A and B are shown apart, each in its own frame.
Chain A
């Protein structure tokens, strides 16, 4: 049985407020942003002055001037997870990483993280953008327990603000940057014991969310929003039925796409605000890093006996869920 022993997260410091986006004069304002997506602030690796002056029209320039890259955020998150799990880097036998904003396309992001941490273990990328948390947990749960090393480091990181065209009013307001990491083991007990995991995809709809390597992020916003709400509700419903979820004590963490979407989901499932953890309002959508970063930030709040439902959706199109019980 898989357990999570510790978690870490990292975010950049530069803040994009709604007033800044309004000042870009791209046909949106603070009121509209709060009403439509409920995001108050985003954290970015890009200098704010650079965004104001260039709108990141050439993502190469943004990347060159950024304070952090995917690897540096991922390494900071990984160090936090290693510390949280109270292990040493040398004990890690496998590193898997998800990113849609790699610093290099070779070697793999996981291999760069391993090199930075001084870990000469097996390292490769396991990628499906936003639902990475469910993918990684589901992927590892497929293994015979004997085939996994004592400790696995999972990482999901993205710096999507470096791929945003800040002349686009929809994309400008959504994205933030971040990284999250967590230590998984089948051989050592941890704070979170996994009870269920699920991951799947519909590749026929993969063009709905795209990050062009030599360009910007773009998506079919309406189609993705409808899909995201519908699939997340389905994912939660199944777990509610099979595992007797009690929203008076159990916790929901969703894909940190936007606050309005999350509110539609929690309203549908009657999940009280007190039992819904999120960080999108203050950090923005961090792609695959958002949900695990939220969980990591609330790590100390987790109470024994609590069940935690994580349901994530996104590019691919792909979606999945993980259910934990706190030990």
Chain B
């Protein structure tokens, strides 16, 4: 397996706070509502409740591409790299405004680079899938620097006509990382993504329609399958690892934390909401910014559409 390093990460969110535009009754969710951001204008939301996502284009203040490019620039800046240092872009989005070109190519255009760029997407576990892919490649196939990114605007696909738990869970945003063959502080020890296609029907977005999620899958699928995945990698995980999870609601997060029983745990859900596949990138940057990343080993857990789950183990280089 190649030696790969996570040189830097970045994330981006729209400026508009969703709950400045709409209200949600206290009885809809049993957890504190996170700081959900939306790419949509407050006027569009209050007037239409996003009844028809097909009409969303004129109401967008940000796009997956603008958010993705901002996250990419941040990652490049933190990694002290110029866009021209990149040799490859791997992207992903579940909320494309264009089904062609790909999100990676649109962000590549924003960065002004002429390099291979294509999308690889599995759903919520994109970050793990991208890293797993690069770890599996021959050394001769790996560029020195690869930009990986995941960008989504789920609020453009939520039906706000009736109160629902989805409104308190999903937030718009993008995450990006520069993955390098050049040694830096965080080495990617392993990354694994798994998909369960027969369960994909529990998390769908029709091409022109609304997001439909059975959030019961957190308890029934994500928590037990993540636990299995952690156990499969038990020999690689240290007792004092820092676990970062960003996509589960607080109750499911606690359930998983208790079941694992080791390490220190951080969730970014309360602060950032669930930004689909962008969340794990954002969580890593978020906790780095807050200087809450003092562990020698970081275990990132991922779950979402697909259905997909993933695990990433990062280790500090001495």
Contacts and interface: CB of A to CB of B under 8 A. Distances in A.
Interface in B69-123: 89, 93-102, 104-109, 111-123
Interface residues of B, number: 59
Contacts of A212: 97-99
A121 B211 CA distance: 24
Given A129-B100, A147-B136, A316-B101, A108 B56 contact: no
B200 interface: yes
Interface in A97-140: 99-108, 110-112, 114-115, 118-129, 135, 139
A214 B204 contact: no
Contacts of A135: 118
Interface string A281-300: 00000000000000000000
A267 interface: no
B205 A104 contact: yes
A200 interface: yes
Interface in B288-314: 305-308
A142 B140 CA distance: 8
Interface residues of A, number: 55
A236 B154 CA distance: 43
Contacts of B44: none
Contact of B117 (A99, A111, A125, A201): A201
State the majority secondary structure of interface residues on B: mixed
B181 to A, nearest CB: 14
A210 interface: yes
Nearest to B197: A114
B115 A128 contact: no
A202 B205 contact: no
Interface in B172-200: 193-198, 200
Nearest to B134: A142
Contact of A201 (B57, B100, B118, B205): B118
Contacts of A206: 101, 105-106, 108-109
A108 B105 contact: no
B54 A316 contact: no
B100 A124 contact: no
Q: Chain A contact residues: over half helix, strand or loop, or mixed? A: mixed
B233 interface: no
B214 interface: no
B306 A201 contact: no
A76 to B, nearest CB: 18
A107 B200 contact: yes
B108 A111 contact: no
A203 interface: yes
Contacts of B211: 106
Contacts of B200: 106-108, 111-112, 115
A266 B205 CA distance: 43
Contacts of A213: 96-99, 207-208
A302 interface: no
A211 B89 contact: no
A202 to B, nearest CB: 5
Given A204-B112, A318-B105, A128 B119 contact: yes
B305 A211 contact: no
B198 A115 contact: yes
Contacts of B307: 107
B120 A209 contact: no
A202 B208 contact: no
Contact of A100 (B100, B104, B198): B100
B40 interface: no
Rank and list the top 8 A-B pairs by shortest CB-CB distance, nearest first: A203-B108, A107-B200, A114-B197, A142-B141, A147-B136, A124-B122, A206-B101, A106-B305
14 contacts: A108-B123, A108-B200, A112-B197, A127-B118, A128-B119, A135-B118, A200-B116, A203-B104, A204-B114, A207-B101, A209-B101, A211-B98, A214-B56, A318-B118
Given A204-B109, A204-B112, A318-B116, 6 more contacts: A99-B99, A120-B197, A127-B102, A127-B118, A211-B99, A213-B99
